[in-house]
Copies of this chain bind each other. A is one copy, B any other.
Amino acid sequence: MHTVSEALKAVLDHVPAPVSQRIPLIESPGRVLLEAIVVAEDVPAFSKALMDGFAISVDDATGSGSVNSPTGMQRLRVVESIVAGRVPSRHLKSLEAMQIMTGAPIPQNCSCVVPVERVQIDQADSGWVDVPRSQMIPDANVLAAGAIARKGQRLLEVGTCLQPARIGAIGELGIAEVVVSRRPTVSILSTGNELVPIGVLPGPGQIRNSSQPMLAAQVMTAGGIPQLLGISEDDTGQLGQKIQEGLRADVFVLTGGVSAGILDLVPEQLALAGVVTVFHGVLMKPGKPIWFGVYRTDSHTCLVFGLPGNPVSSLACFELFVKPALWRLQGLPDLEPGVAVLSERCQVRGDRPVYQPVILRQETGTIMARPVSWSNSADLLATVMANGFARMEPEHGVYEAGEIVEVLPWDRRSCCQ
């Protein structure tokens, strides 16, 4: 039987290349670049003021200056006012200044902007301003053309997920459309005679189909588009028909019917539909009966995951195998597990690595993991305060508080990267 890392490698080896699409920048939050963002022109395109104040030439600080300047000041003639969105009509001459607003282009021969609060405007004649020589510093409060980015520079590489600051930066470069990966579709089918829809009162021996909304939410968190196929009974005809539907998506997730029980028809029916088995069973707890296969036609590949029916098992199998596949399908770099410090003692039972639901919290810069009390793989209610799994090795036996463990936070999502 495969280990978790062998199984994950087998899954990732079968993920097809992401499919690209061009979309408006405004619709791009959370999407992943499939074409790099390259700077097409210098940024800023023109040298500009970083403060409201007066555009001057530092050359005027030396020399005798005009008469009537107070001590340490240089009197300059205000010849123009440049507001943002306007350009200076001419260049600065000796002993001239122009009033300028933040963001406005500086005139030629300007080498400094002196903030408005540092100067004295002549009360009697606003055509003159007194500027302290100590403020006449070369390049002060001026942003030179090309200082932020140079033409041809690669700003964002392929595989980058678009979050707000990046979207703003792309907008600044004048790029109104981006080439990103198509969001993968994920069909979800629950199998089992015992299942009833959530709104229906279960009869004796029946349980509610709670995995459907849970998996749909997991798909959304991972950047995919869920397609709900509802419930199939353990009946070859009904199951075969739903499988045909499910195989049209990029990823097909089934729950139930993959153990060794009498009514576990899923692997057999998937094989009949042309899905090629890659593995069945992984050394882990919960989730051991997981099945994975691939369906290929000339024009389409569908990755097929048969997850165990118990809710915590399907939660774990999704995080461990389906989410990494969805990340790679979107062109994101592979997810690496994190680590955390156990906040209390924890004992591993059995002979398989255990994925223990934990509450991950940051405490003064350290990530702590607190195991939740969890009775079995059907016990989803115990996990409501958890937000990750910690991997516990069976040969380790007892873990003491303070030991470091490998963790998989559930809330990792494409645009957090």
Contacts and interface: CB of A to CB of B under 8 A. Distances in A.
Nearest to A209: B171
A415 B411 contact: yes
A416 B409 CA distance: 10
B165 A378 contact: no
B384 A166 contact: yes
A80 B129 CA distance: 102
A194 B339 contact: no
Given A29-B217, A103-B309, A259-B102, A410 B165 contact: yes
A52 interface: yes
B163 A387 contact: yes
Contacts of A212: 26, 171
Interface in A243-286: 259-263
A104 B204 contact: no
Interface string A174-215: 111000000000000000111101111110111111111111
B84 A214 contact: no
Nearest to A175: B198
A205 B106 CA distance: 9
Contacts of A384: 155-156, 165-166, 169
Interface residues of A, number: 107
Nearest to A39: B381
A63 interface: no
For this chain, the copies found in one complex come to: 2
Contact of A199 (B83, B84, B174): B174
Which interface residue of A143, A207, A262, A357 has the most chain B CB atoms within 10 A?
A: A207
B380 A172 contact: yes
Contacts of A156: 384
Interface string A209-241: 111111111101100000010000000000000
A398 interface: no
16 contacts: A46-B205, A101-B263, A105-B204, A143-B378, A148-B379, A163-B221, A164-B218, A164-B410, A168-B217, A171-B208, A171-B212, A171-B213, A339-B362, A362-B367, A364-B404, A367-B367
Top 7 A-B pairs, shortest CB-CB distance: A168-B214, A171-B210, A85-B194, A85-B193, A84-B194, A164-B217, A176-B199
Given A83-B261, A164-B214, 12 more contacts: A28-B213, A44-B378, A46-B205, A85-B194, A86-B193, A87-B205, A148-B381, A168-B217, A168-B315, A174-B201, A411-B415, A411-B416
Interface of A: 25-26, 28-29, 43-46, 48, 50, 52, 81-87, 101-105, 116, 143, 147-149, 155-156, 162-172, 174-176, 192-195, 197-202, 204-218, 220-221, 228, 259-263, 309-311, 315, 338-341, 357, 362, 364-367, 375-376, 378-384, 386-387, 404, 410-411, 415-416
